[in-house]
Chain A
Amino acid sequence: MTNRSLIAQALLLIAIVLCCLFPFYWMVTTSLKDQVVALASPPVWTFTPTFANYVEVLFEDKVGASLINSLIVAVCTTLLALVLGAPAAYALARFEFRGKRDLWFWFITNRMVSPIVLALPFFLIVRFFGLLDTHIVLILIYLTFNLPIVIWICTDQFRSIPRELDEAAVLEGASQFRIFRSICLPLAAPGVAVSAIFSFIFSWNELMFALVLTRTAAKTAPAVAVGFMEGYNLPYGKNMATSTLIVIPVIVFALIASKQLVRGLTMGAVK
């Protein structure tokens, strides 16, 4: 390969990195600007950073509480999806039974369905039971996308575990549940962890259900962030401080799982 093409490749790669990271950079720097600097026209690139926006949103604007709501919802729905999904994945990977393909297809379709289709009836049902603005409602409805993700990734993982291991255990007289819990589950831990990360990210990022199903007490962070932009003043700094607080944990998790990102986002269709 010639030197010139290597340099061209390097320059293109640097351009890609800059394109990917610039909005993130702009978000973080805007969050460190005070209101006067944030509303400078044209925008300024050098300024004295301030953490006032973070202090304000965390302690005065209930963003702290909404982050805790987001955390509660995302963690609970992820755990629930794992408890329900991992055994199902094991069954799909290990047992033969009628209707397995149909079941499979049903799980895929859940990934395709627009959330607004479920948001309408869910709102009416939840309102009827007086459960609007509670954590449990979001925890449950997030299962509609978390459960398929967990089942998909974990099924893949269980399939990769050699069957000889369980056959040996069957000869020892172990029940299927014991084989699942004591042999396969520990071996499938990487897949389970990845599906947990995905489930957490999707739940943490979700906006529409949160917007429709919560009011104040259970409002999640993205829903609160959106509320800032209503009205006539433009609290850019506060807004971006909240956004940064929302985005940072997601990016950390996504980077941890970056090797499995493609597998997770295509539900195992591409490895």
Chain B
Amino acid sequence: MKTGGVSRLTIFGFLGPAILSLALIGIVPLAFAVYTSLHKYQLTNLRRTPFLGLENYQTVLTDPVFWDAMQRTMTLLVIVLPLQLILGMGIALLLHRPGLGFLKTLTRLSLVVPMATTYAVVGLLGQIMFNLKYGVVNQLIGFLGFDPVNWIGDPTNAFIAIAFWDVWQWTPFCALVLLAGLTTVPGEIEEAARLETKKWWLVLRHVQLPFLIPGLTAILILRTADTLKLFDMVFTMTRGGPGSSTELISLLIQRVGFRVFDQGLASAQAIILLIITIVLSQLYIRLIYREVQQ
């Protein structure tokens, strides 16, 4: 069969290597994870791996530890995402205003730095800057008249510190995506709107917002996925502690798999996480596309 004048063999020649290798490193391990999740698969005792059926899944679904970690992850998302969007929107609007060319270029380049900083390094830096005694954060809030805060040793404060870093690292991303959206608004439409009203939020709501929808969709989907993936920064800063106050879902799975050595249970958790991720991204895509069509 010819497709657009190109033989199937040619198409396969181009696509085959990529598909085969991605299948080999992406799908085969996944299938193996499904297999381990159906067995008692303990790293300390691999001689005996009896078939358990869905027992691991039942354990996970009724396990408060799993749902606590899931809830913590979602709480983090619900706290940081609005902050990132509001701050990001503010920065984008500032950068979109005319004038101050050099300062705006400098700002745009500075925004790259948090995003590019290695996540693990952000966590290490967190340990140092948020340290109770030697940390610069307590020194800075001391200048403002506040008492030193035990950031990393206190469950609530550790969570706040993690949320703070996430906002620091990803607000620039939101700002740049939204700025890219603002620049797609045709100049004459924006100018006409500005002649009508002096209120910037009216322009934002009625003129600019429709052009920001693709960017907002991307932010929503990617930030959700990235929060469900978040590991490096939290692991290096708090190891999930104190207690389990910052044990997000990927840290929990890592701990069960590699510190408790229960690969079967960890795989079941991972598969459930995978399903949740896929359902969420599908949901988002549908929801947003309906928004756009209205």
- Seen from chain A, the residues whose Cβ lies within 8 Å of a Cβ on chain B are 1, 6, 9-10, 12-14, 16-17, 19-21, 23-24, 26-27, 30, 38-43, 83-85, 87-88, 90-92, 94-98, 103, 107, 109-125, 140-141, 143-144, 147-148, 151, 170, 176-177, 180, 201, 204-208, 211-212, 222, 225-226, 228-229, 234, 236, 239-240, 243, 246-247, 250-251, 253-255, 258, 261-262, 265-266, 269-271
Mask: chain B, 135-176; 1 = CB below 8 Å from A; 0 = not: 110110010000000000000000000000000100011001
> How many residues of B are counted as interface, with CB atoms below 8 angstroms from the partner's CB atoms?
98
Q: Do A261 and B21 touch (CB < 8 A)?
A: no
23 contacting pairs across A/B (C-beta < 8 A)? A12-B94, A23-B114, A24-B113, A42-B142, A43-B136, A88-B17, A91-B11, A91-B14, A109-B281, A114-B250, A114-B274, A114-B277, A117-B30, A118-B29, A120-B257, A121-B33, A176-B6, A207-B119, A207-B235, A208-B232, A229-B124, A251-B113, A270-B180
Q: Do B32 and A247 touch (CB < 8 A)?
A: no
Given A114-B273, A207-B236, verify A144-B25 contact (CB < 8 Å): yes
Q: Do B36 and A121 touch (CB < 8 A)?
A: yes
Secondary structure of the B contact surface, majority rule: helix
Closest CB in chain B relative to A257 CB, distance in Å:
9
Closest CB in chain A relative to B131 CB, distance in Å:
8
Q: Do B100 and A13 touch (CB < 8 A)?
A: yes
Partner of B98, one of A1, A109, A251: A1
Q: Do B36 and A226 touch (CB < 8 A)?
A: no
Mask: chain B, 184-215; 1 = CB below 8 Å from A; 0 = not: 00000000000000000000000000000011
Given A9-B94, A96-B3, A208-B231, verify A141-B176 contact (CB < 8 Å): no
Partner of B112, one of A90, A116, A261: A261
Q: Do A42 and B109 touch (CB < 8 A)?
A: no
Interfacial residues of chain B within 99-152, with CB under 8 A of chain A in the complex: 99-100, 103-104, 106-125, 127-129, 133-136, 138-139, 142
Q: Do A9 and B100 touch (CB < 8 A)?
A: yes
B30: chain A residues at CB < 8 Å are 117-118, 121
B78 at the interface (CB under 8 A from A): no
